[in-house]
Amino acid sequence: MQGPWASALAADPALGSGYFDAYAAVGLLAVVGALFLVVGFTANRLLRPAVWSPEKLLAYECGVDPVGEGWAHTQVRYYVYAFLYVIFAVDAIFLFPWATVFAAAGYGMATLVEMFVFLGFLAIGLLYAWKKGVLEWT
């Protein structure tokens, strides 16, 4: 290859290799997706019937007329239980690949020790939560 492109290609090997074509495809897909969203919302606004009534402006609560304030107090312990569930779900996700590696030759003792260290950290966290009274419902 000779000419002005030869020096440019030697300076930047990605030039002419189609490397940035993948980024262009992703960018084009993002633009098409954004246009699809804008066209959909615009068509919805233009084509929907707009008949307002006081009943339509009320908050909808499962077919029951709203009673009381709009704010409800939620206890923090619901979130704590959700976090504990996520922690132990992640623990279960780590146990399955560990079981497959543990069965492979040459990985027995090292993976066993690593998993017991991991389970020990989780047990310490659970004991800490239990000692702080987080797991008490009432």
DSSP string, 6-68: HHHHHH-TTTTTTTTHHHHHHHHHHHHHHHHHHHHHHHHHHHS-----TTTTSPPBTTB---S
pLDDT of residue 57: 76
DSSP codes of every residue in 121-137:
HHHHHHHHHHHTTTT--
pLDDT of residue 93: 83
pLDDT over threshold 90, residue 27: yes
Instruction: For residue 8, name the pLDDT band (cuts at 50, 70, 90).
Output: low
φ/ψ bin of 63: left (φ > 0), alpha (ψ from -120 to 50), beta (otherwise): left
Per residue in 65-99, pLDDT (tens digit) is 667 676 777 777 777 788 888 888 888 887 877 77
Instruction: For residue 34, name the pLDDT band (cuts at 50, 70, 90).
Output: very high
Give the DSSP H/E element, type plus range, for residue 95.
Answer: helix 77-103
pLDDT of residue 45: 92
Backbone angles phi, psi at 73, to 5 degrees: -85, 130
> How confident is the model over 47-52, as a mean pLDDT?
87
State how far the Cα of 87 lies from the Cα of 85, in Å rounded to an integer. Answer: 5
Average predicted confidence (pLDDT) for the chain: 79
pTM (2 decimals)? 0.40
Total residue length of the chain: 138
